[in-house]
Amino acid sequence: MKGFVVLLITVAFFDASTGEPSPEIIPVEGGLSGDGITTRYWDCCKPSCGWADLVNNTRFKTPVHTCAIDGIEIIDPQQQSGCADVGAAYTCSNQQPFVVNSTLAYGFSAVSFTGGEDYHMCCSCMLLNFQGQLSGKKMLVQITNTGSPLAVNQFDIELPGGGVGIYPHGCMKQWNASETGWGDTFGGVHSDAECSELPAVLQPGCHFRFQFMEGVSNPPVTFQQVQCPRELVAITGCEY
């Protein structure tokens, strides 16, 4: 009986013409949509949708998981960010992008829709439709972070080795990275080969930029709000 159920699910989620996995993507009626810009980062800090005290002011019921220094153990959402002097909460290493099929990936992103800090869409999901050189490829991201440097409709995609940005201390403390992180402070490593500078657990998400994203830097997007796939909710523990 169990085998029968698995077979049904498998058939339902494959594209008949390409033979590749093809999960159903469900738009949110009346949801957000528009044109956006992208940047990238991996600063190892606690993502700001991980703050417990936001829960009563936002739609999500539980904050985004944050991890101990090993990047694996999920810790108390009251714990301060590892990017602060006394903090010990870091980005969980599994909050990195992964490929679903040759034209679709899942991942996580910081975002602002208003310019600056913008918590109201924490844990919602957006389908990013890459434009320009990457057109034809899409990335479905769950929003885990926001912050004051962000512009309106700016998606700062979580890509290991994508640059530590304005918070260099997290990766120094968590992974002994240099003061500038890996590669440039803004933008990160320059090639697929340089991904070997990262800890092994973060290398797949670094390769993702040079493989699935073909090394295209900061592609523009159109975006549309969609229901979050359960795979992403399972990783962050946060449901919009």
Q: Per the residue annotation, which of 15, 35, 43, 192 is the catalytic one? A: 43
Binds ligand NAG (CB under 6 A): choice among 1, 4, 11, 53: 53
Cβ closest to ligand NAG, residue 193 vs residue 200 = 200
Of 155-194, which residues contact ligand NAG (CB under 6 A)? 175-176
- Pick from 128, 125, 146, 149: which is nearest to 137 by CA? 128
Q: Other C-beta atoms within 10 Å of 68: how many?
A: 17
List the Cα angle 104/106/108 in 5-degree steps: 140
Active site residue 70: no
Binds ligand NAG (CB under 6 A): choice among 18, 114, 211, 217: 18
Q: How far apart are CA 27 and CA 105, in angstroms?
A: 16
In the chain, DSSP finds a helix count (H) and a strand count (E) of 4, 7
Q: How far apart are CA 47 and CA 187, in angstroms?
A: 18
Write the interaction track for ligand NAG spanning residues 107-146; mark x where CB under 6 A is met and - where it is not.
----------------------------------------
Summarize as ranges the residues that interact with ligand NAG (CB under 6 A). 15, 18, 20, 22-23, 25, 52-53, 55-56, 101-104, 175-176
Which residues are tagged catalytic?
Answer: 43
